[in-house]
């Protein structure tokens, strides 16, 4: 998880934080679940997806060769796409 995503989670109350972390841990088993939405490819060619968690969204990258999922940003819907 990126530093930005970790800092955002640290600011949330415990109940909401646990809910989001539980959902993100499922990405380790299934990196691209059926409710994930492809957003774009970054400059390195990695796929960027969006995961919806209630009013919050998580943007994450999937490195297909190395099978790595990196959560890059978590925020509420109106702000998540500002710095894409």
pLDDT per residue as tens digits for the range 62-76 = 887 777 899 999 999
Q: What is the DSSP letter of 42?
A: -
Q: How confident is the model at residue 44 (pLDDT cuts 50, 70, 90)?
A: confident
Is pLDDT above 80 for 9? yes
Predicted structure pTM score:
0.88
Name the 3-class secondary structure at 35: coil
| Distance of alpha carbon 14 from alpha carbon 29, whole angstroms | 24
Sorted by where each starts, the structural domains of the chain and their CATH numbers stand as 3-80 (3.30.2310.20)
Please give the distance of CA 72 from its chain centroid, rounded to a whole number: 6
| Distance of alpha carbon 7 from alpha carbon 13, whole angstroms | 13
């Amino acid at each position: 998880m990126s530093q930005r995503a970790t800092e955002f989670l640290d600011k949330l109350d415990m109940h909401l934080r646990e809910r989001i972390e539980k959902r993100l841990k499922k990405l380790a088993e299934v990196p691209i679940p059926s409710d994930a939405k492809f957003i774009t490819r970054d400059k390195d060619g990695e796929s960027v997806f969006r995961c919806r968690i209630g009013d919050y969204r998580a943007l994450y990258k999937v490195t297909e060769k190395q099978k790595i999922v990196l959560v890059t940003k978590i925020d509420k819907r109106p702000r998540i796409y500002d710095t894409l």
